[in-house]
Amino acid sequence: MTPAPFLSDIAAPAPNGAAYWLDCADGVRVRAVLWGKDAPKGTVFMFPGRTEYAEKYVHTAAALEQGGYATFAMDWRGQGLADRLIDNPAVGHVGHFTDYQQDVAAMVTAAETLNLPKPWFLIAHSMGGAIGLRAVIEGLPVKACAFTGPMWGIIMNPATRPAAWAISWASRVIGAAENFAPSTRGEAYVLAEPFKDNTLTTDPDMFQFMKDHVLAHPELSLGGPSLNWLHEALRDTLELSRRPAPNLPCLTFLGSNERIVDPKRIHARMAGWPGGELQIIDGGEHEILMEGPETRNRVLGQIMTLFDTARTRPDQTAPLAC
């Protein structure tokens, strides 16, 4: 673990972060950003979604720090400032979805090395929700978890889903696994699409906030996923849907206008999660923590109430499998 760049120029709500390079077991280098190292209540692991990076969650980190919690946020392999995995850096690619668990393991090791305040907790968004679900099932040492728009399934037309499986699998055979998935492209979504009817947020200021980040730091930009990523995502989310929920307090938020991840999978998962609760954000889009301040503050307040309650709960998780 060594110092890494912290993009303070785009981190105005929480400018005093520290960034670290983390070396994963397979040699991939990822990045994590820490806010509030001396927080009195514990540390929140922040698992961002696909295309995202740690500084995007400065509003979340600022609110958590004010509430007494440190934030430790990840740049997953293949995005942010972490190592890009293929020659074309605009393609969101991963070899196997379980490779992200190596990033998680490196993050846990770094948290131990930094002696981050305990207990630990998890907030995970979108793709980070899939990574986080597997992590908590396999024993991530957290007291409670919260998810926003978790990618426990991907919205697709039922008629095209079999084709997506077939094409993404065949891409490996014909040497096209690193190509963009159908209907995706190399430009970041917030640069390619207007605010009107976007699928991320109803708040124009937060949409501009995300756009400004990519304009200020083009190295953060990421386009559509690779065919291999698509195949791995379909396979991993299906496999996870068949596994029982862990014995862990959980709060999940879903926008009523969700158009990216599959709401049916989220409803099914939370219906079978003992001690879990699903809350629908009326009118919300995919990125609940990038909605307007009223929604953000309400959601983060509920999450911190969950964490406050869980702080003294006896440990129920197994050691993380590394």
What secondary structure letter does DSSP report for 296?
A: H
Round the average pLDDT of the chain to a whole number and report it: 95
Contacts of 91 (CB under 8 A, 6+ apart): 178, 179, 180, 186, 223, 224, 225, 226
Measure the CA–CA gap between 231 and 236, rounded to whole angstroms.
9
For 92-136, the pLDDT digits (tens) are 999 999 999 999 999 999 999 999 999 999 999 999 999 999 999
Tell whether the model's pLDDT for residue 322 goes beyond 70.
no
For 199-224, the pLDDT digits (tens) are 999 999 999 999 999 999 999 999 99
For 48-82, the pLDDT digits (tens) are 999 999 999 999 999 999 999 999 999 999 999 99
Tell whether the model's pLDDT for residue 20 goes beyond 50.
yes
CA 55 → CA 14, 19, 242, 264, 265, distances in Å?
9, 10, 33, 30, 29
Classify burial at 308, counting beta carbons within 10 Å of its beta carbon; exposed 0-12, middle 13-18, buried 19 or more. Answer: middle
CATH topology of domain 2-310: Rossmann fold (3.40.50)
Residue 158's SS3 state is coil
Measure the CA–CA gap between 132 and 122, rounded to whole angstroms.
8
Compute the CA torsion angle 188, 191, 194, 195 (nearest 10 deg): 80
> Parallel, antiparallel, or unpaired for β 18-23 and 276-281?
unpaired
pLDDT of residue 321: 37
Domain boundaries, the chain: 2-310
Model pTM score: 0.96
Tell whether the model's pLDDT for residue 159 goes beyond 80.
no
